[in-house]
């Protein structure tokens, strides 16, 4: 072929596989494959979004003052060290652009977020997968994999797709034992769902370090996945570095304003949290009763394993698709006999359990 040739490392990349959104049924499918919010966005966020329509000819605020102010207020953090992005995915990519050069290594745990190897490889970095233990990140394994080439360590905490988490003591132990030339990325996309006392999303560590960034998203609990809004919090040097390389108008006005309203709608946030907690616990217990191996989740999704040779995840997936239910099925990643189920509405949760029961019993 003639024409321009991209870098060898970009040629090697595959396109990111998202959660399916089409089923094989007549009715519109029920999508429980992408960890989207069961209750949708806050009504206040929707109203704010509609209001921006009249101002579409204006460029957005390049430094998203009001949104950062609202985030700083809510989390009691320094507004000037918040960087916003087109989803937290953009923050993860900016981090790779800023801190990896071709040949540098970035570590992440097996059975974690599939964006990490893509973001790393897209700048010529080398993704290194570290073994987990019981579907949970393991600090000793990560420390053993650190070498001179290591420049970034990614930890999704709580983790996707397993739903497990590391207590703050383990994150601290990891941080204390790595050189401060390595950037520790704490991806806390599901922080809003967890209430374990020994958990911290990363703010405490960011406040006392110069090599940690915490990333957060509006796509999960806040139900604004379509707007693509995420943010990061780090020391001054890191946040300024990311600010330099991001697009000046990366976050649209619609996302800025709806995000701010979502943050301020505390009532709705409580509702979404309570709904998730109640139904996550119910789903875990029902799946257990069906004889499935449920990985304990602190998020808005549940990963579970089919242990019976005649009842495979692949067959269950086909069965559910025929009935209009889309879960996340992993044909690779070493999770071939698992499905991941996002917590849905009451009716969706009841129905998906009913269908799985039918599948298991026939």
Ligand X SMILES: *Cc1c(COP(=O)(O)O)cnc(C)c1O
Which residues contact ligand X by CB under 6 A?
Answer: 35, 87-89, 113, 156, 160, 187, 189, 217, 219, 225, 230
CB-wise, 167 or 324, nearer to ligand X? Answer: 167
d(CA 93, CA 155): 14
Query: Which candidate, 360, 353, 312, 311, places its Cα nearest to that of 336?
Result: 312
CB of residue 73 vs ligand X: minimum separation in angstroms? 21
CB-wise, 258 or 353, nearer to ligand X? Answer: 258
- Closest residue to ligand X in the complex (CB): 87
Both structure tokens of 236: 């001054």
CB-wise, 118 or 356, nearer to ligand X? Answer: 118
CB of residue 190 vs ligand X: minimum separation in angstroms? 7
CB-wise, 138 or 215, nearer to ligand X? Answer: 215
CB of residue 156 vs ligand X: minimum separation in angstroms? 4
Note the helical H segments in 184-225.
Answer: 203-207
d(CA 295, CA 138): 16
Neighbouring C-beta atoms of residue 37, cutoff 10 Å:
23
d(CA 62, CA 57): 15
Length of the chain: 362
d(CA 188, CA 69): 20
CB-wise, 289 or 333, nearer to ligand X? Answer: 333
Q: Terminal CA-to-CA distance of the chain, rounded, Å?
A: 53
CB of residue 291 vs ligand X: minimum separation in angstroms? 27
CB of residue 218 vs ligand X: minimum separation in angstroms? 7
121 preceded by cis ω (within 30°)? no
d(CA 256, CA 262): 10
CB-wise, 194 or 353, nearer to ligand X? Answer: 194
CB of residue 174 vs ligand X: minimum separation in angstroms? 17
């Amino acid at each position: 072929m003639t024409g321009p040739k991209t870098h060898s490392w970009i040629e090697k990349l595959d396109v990111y596989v998202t959660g399916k959104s089409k089923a094989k049924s007549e009715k519109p499918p029920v999508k429980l494959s992408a960890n989207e919010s069961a209750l949708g966005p806050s009504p206040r966020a929707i109203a704010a979004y509609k209001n921006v329509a009249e101002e579409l000819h204006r460029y957005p605020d390049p430094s998203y003052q009001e949104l950062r102010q609202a985030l700083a207020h809510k989390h009691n953090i320094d507004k000037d060290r918040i960087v916003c992005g087109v989803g937290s995915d953009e923050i993860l990519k900016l981090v790779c652009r800023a801190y990896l050069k071709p040949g540098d290594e970035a570590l992440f745990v097996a059975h974690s977020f599939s964006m990490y190897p893509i973001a790393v490889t897209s700048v010529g970095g080398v993704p290194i997968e570290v073994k987990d233990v019981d579907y949970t990140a393991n600090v000793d394994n990560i420390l053993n994999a650190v070498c001179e080439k290591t420049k970034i360590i990614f930890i999704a905490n709580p983790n996707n797709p397993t739903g497990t988490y590391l207590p703050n003591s383990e994150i601290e132990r990891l941080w204390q034992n790595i050189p401060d030339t390595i950037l520790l990325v704490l991806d806390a996309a599901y922080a809003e769902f967890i209430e374990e006392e020994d958990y911290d999303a990363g703010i405490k560590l960011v406040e006392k370090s110069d090599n940690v960034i915490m990333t957060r998203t509006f796509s999960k609990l806040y139900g604004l996945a379509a707007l693509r809004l995420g943010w990061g919090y780090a020391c001054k040097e890191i946040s300024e570095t990311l600010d330099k390389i991001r697009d000046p108008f990366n976050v649209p006005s619609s996302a800025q304003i709806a995000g701010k309203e979502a943050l301020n709608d505390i009532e709705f946030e409580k509702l979404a949290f309570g709904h998730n907690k109640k139904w996550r616990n119910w789903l875990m217990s029902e799946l257990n009763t069906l004889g499935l191996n449920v990985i304990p989740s602190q998020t808005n999704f549940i990963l579970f394993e089919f242990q019976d040779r005649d009842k495979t995840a692949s067959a269950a997936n086909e069965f559910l698709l025929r009935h209009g239910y889309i879960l996340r099925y992993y044909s690779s990643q070493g999770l071939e006999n698992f499905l991941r189920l996002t917590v849905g509405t009451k009716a969706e949760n009841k129905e998906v359990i009913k269908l799985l029961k039918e599948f298991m019993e026939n």
